[in-house]
Amino acid sequence: MRYLSTRGHPDRKRFCEILLEGLAPDGGLYLPESYPQVDAATLQKWSGLKYHELAFEILSLYIDDIPAGDLQAICRKTYTAEVFGTPEIVPLKKLELGTGSESKRLYLQALSNGPTLAFKDMAMQLLGNLFEYELARRGEELNILGATSGDTGSAAEYAMKGKKGVRVFMTSPNGRMSPFQQAQMFSLQDANIYNLAIDGVFDDCQDIVKAVSNDLEFKRKYRIGTVNSINWARLVAQVVYYFAGYFQAAAQRVSFTVPSGNFGNICAGHVARMMGLPIDTLVLATNENNVLDEFLRTGVYRVRSAADTHETSSPSMDISKASNFERFVFDLLGRDGARVKSLFSEQIAATGQFDLSADPAFKQLRERYGFVSGSSTHADRLATIRSTFESSHIIIDTHTADGVKVAFEHLQPGVPMIVLETALPIKFAATIVEALGREPDRPAALAGIESLPRRVTVLPADVQQVKGFIATHCA
């Protein structure tokens, strides 16, 4: 299996090369040259596997430069009941909403039982083990630079803390995460973890990561890698739980609703569908920052400025530049790297947007790729949290509420709808209190986390200052 850049760079690389590299040399994102195809017989064979076994089967289709026995051991070490709280790892829960048969077709897929209570743990725990394995095999070190709007940061830091040969420099928008999210990250005292609170929004953090990654001299000198979903390993790990959800639903076809800000989570669903998983519809749910919803409805991708990026009660989706979206556009446009490069590195830089509404490929968006979308507001969030609790006695977080709200707009007869849970509600306690008048349950191990000492450095949204911090702490 070889990987290519979405912007047409001529190099073709193997998995372990791109695992440590992040962005391609031309600023593009890596994708496999083709998606492995899974037929009905293979699906039947996989249907009874344990999660770590399923992970191995899927990952081995994309990873041929790690010996099979070693990859099996990594999957077995990663996906355990001790780490994820249940032998099923990602169990489905029926949501008893609505009436009649409608209520029986909506499920919640529990993805937030890992160490940081967010779906990012599903891929990040694997990534930490892959990094440690490959760095030990090479006798090298890696300095990870990441950006987070809330959950990626803590998931990465908990996965990488104590790992040999790895340092983490995690940028986040200063003051824009929930108090619990901030406490999870900033309370870590491990010597290989550095938190950088950037005066700006998430998109500023993401721009810094991309700028550093595109400085090839600096990147090579300081061995910079990434854990954001621009790293293909993150995304392919997420493909696994789409298959697991399908098998649990026990239906011929299923649909998924995915709360989405950076397009990584739902892009994994796109990959699963391209592989042959019988997904009828991929429903993208946004909050008030509805850049992706706007594109899927109109064909216009319009990046918003920091000033126009709303601060919402589902803050992990307060994103106006969806970096993973480039992967889907590459597929949508017939894998035309030159055209993708023009759209993302030229048109957006010049005008802040591009328009594919007249392109024949966009007109086949629903039929060929299964995408539809919708958006949600703070009032919708509150109403959905209340109705879910009243009907199912389940408290959902704010992002999952966006998903449930939009899912109901796209239910189809005879097709189960699976909403991907994104986090446990304790991470957004203030909005839960507003909706229900009570605090959500908190795991005992995280009691009082907000009062712990913090280790964080505040920096302006300036690439050179971030580079200087990395250089100083890698000396």
Predicted TM-score (pTM) of the model is 0.92
Token pair, residue 465, equals 């200052």
Q: How far apart are CA 383 and CA 434, in angstroms?
A: 10
Mark whether 363 is an active-site residue: no
Over residues 49-67, the pLDDT tens digits come to: 999 999 999 999 999 999 9
Looking at 323-446, list the stretches that DSSP marks H as alpha helix, in order from N- to C-terminal side. Answer: 325-332, 337-341, 348-351, 360-363, 365-369, 378-392, 398-407, 429-436
pLDDT of residue 381: 97
pLDDT of residue 475: 67
pLDDT of residue 102: 52
CA 255 and chain centroid, separation: 18
Mean pLDDT of 436-445: 89
402 pLDDT exceeds 60? yes
pLDDT of residue 284: 98
| Active-site residue, selected from the candidate residues 13, 104, 120, 219 | 120
Domain range summary for the chain, segments of one domain joined by +: 89-117+233-436
Over residues 8-47, the pLDDT tens digits come to: 999 999 999 999 887 899 999 999 999 999 999 999 999 9
196 pLDDT exceeds 60? yes
Q: At what angle do helices 151-160 and 179-186 cross, to 10 degrees?
A: 20
Mean pLDDT of 166-186: 93
pLDDT of residue 100: 55
Q: What percent of the chain has pLDDT over 70?
A: 98
| Helix, strand, or coil (residue 365) | helix
Over residues 144-170, the pLDDT tens digits come to: 999 998 788 899 999 998 888 899 999
Over residues 64-118, the pLDDT tens digits come to: 999 999 999 999 999 999 999 999 999 999 987 655 545 557 999 999 999 989 9
Question: What's the topology of domain 89-117+233-436?
Answer: Rossmann fold (3.40.50)
Q: Which residue has the tokens 């706007």?
A: 294
